[in-house]
Chain A
Amino acid sequence: MFTKHRTAGYNGYAVQWSPFFEDKLAVATAANFGLIGNGRLHILSVGAGPAAGAVNVERVFDTQDGLFDVCWSEVNENQLVTASGDGSIKLWDTTLADFPIQNWHEHQREVFSVNWNLVSKDTFLSASWDNTIKLWNQNSPRSLQTFNGHSHCVYSAMWSPHSPTLFASCSGDHTLKLWDTNSPAPVQTILAHSNEVLTLDWNKYQDHTIVTGSVDHTIKVWDLRRPDRELNCLRGHEYAVRKVKCSPHSGSLVASTSYDMTMRMWDITTGDMIEIHDAHTEFVLGVDFNLYRDREVATCAWDESVHVFTPRCLM
Chain B
Amino acid sequence: MTSISTNKRLEQIKDHISGSSVTREHLIHHRHPDDVVIVSAVRTPICKAIKGGFKDVYPEDLLAVVLKAAAERAKIDPKVVNDIQTGNVLQELGGIKVGRAAMFTAGFPYTTTYGVLNRQCSSGLQACNNIANAIRAGEIDVGIGAGVESMTQDYGSKSTPSKVSTAIKTGQEDVFLPMGITSENVASDFSISREDQDRFSAESHEKALRAQAQGLFDAEIIPVKVQQTVTIKDEKTGDEKKVTRDVVISKDEGPRTGTTVEKLSKLKPAFKKDGSTTAGNASQVSDGAAAVVLMRRSKAQELGCTILARWCGARVVGCPPRIMGIGPALAIPAVLKDVGLKVDDVDVYELNEAFASQALYCVRTLGIKPAKVNPKGGAIALGHPLGCTGARQVSTLITQLHHSQQKIGVISMCYGIGGGMAAIIVSEKD
Partner-B contacts on A (CB < 8 A): 33-37, 65, 85-86, 109-110, 129, 151-153, 172-174, 191, 194-196, 198, 215-217, 228, 239-240, 242, 259
Contacts and interface: CB of A to CB of B under 8 A. Distances in A.
Nearest to A36: B6
Contacts of B15: 196, 215
A111 B199 CA distance: 54
A129 B32 CA distance: 25
Contacts of B33: 228
A36 B22 CA distance: 25
Contact of A196 (B16, B25, B32): B16
Interface of B: 1, 5-6, 9-10, 12-13, 15-17, 19, 21-23, 25-26, 30-33, 340
Contact of B13 (A35, A36, A86, A152): A35
Give the 9 A-B residue pairs with the shortest CB-CB distance, closest first: A240-B16, A36-B6, A215-B19, A36-B1, A259-B17, A215-B16, A35-B10, A195-B22, A35-B6
Nearest to B25: A151
Contacts of A153: 12
For the complex, would chain A's binding face be called helix, strand, loop or mixed by DSSP majority? loop
A35 B9 contact: yes
A195 B26 CA distance: 9
Nearest to B17: A259
Contacts of B31: 191
Contacts of A34: 9, 13
A262 to B, nearest CB: 14
A216 B21 contact: no
Q: Which of A36, A37, A152 has the most CB of B within 10 A?
A: A36
Contact of A129 (B12, B17, B19, B340): B12
Contact of B26 (A35, A174, A259): A174
Given A86-B1, A242-B16, A194 B22 contact: yes
Nearest to B32: A191
Given A65-B1, A110-B9, A196-B15, 4 more contacts: A34-B9, A35-B10, A37-B1, A195-B19
A55 to B, nearest CB: 28
Given A35-B6, A86-B1, A240-B17, A195 B12 contact: no
A112 to B, nearest CB: 10
B1 A85 contact: yes
Contacts of A37: 1
Given A35-B13, A191-B30, A196-B16, A172 B6 contact: no
A275 B6 CA distance: 35
A259 B12 contact: no
Contacts of A35: 6, 9-10, 13
A38 to B, nearest CB: 10
A33 B17 CA distance: 14
A84 B26 CA distance: 27
25 contacts: A34-B9, A34-B13, A35-B6, A36-B9, A65-B1, A85-B1, A86-B1, A129-B12, A152-B23, A152-B26, A173-B26, A174-B22, A174-B26, A191-B30, A191-B32, A195-B22, A195-B340, A196-B15, A215-B16, A215-B21, A216-B19, A217-B19, A228-B33, A239-B19, A259-B16
Nearest to A152: B23
A196 B16 CA distance: 8
A15 B162 CA distance: 71
Nearest to B5: A109
Contact of A195 (B6, B10, B21, B32): B21
A174 B6 CA distance: 24
Nearest to A259: B17
Q: Which of B16, B22, B30, B340 has the most CB of A within 10 A?
A: B16
A311 to B, nearest CB: 25
Contacts of B23: 152
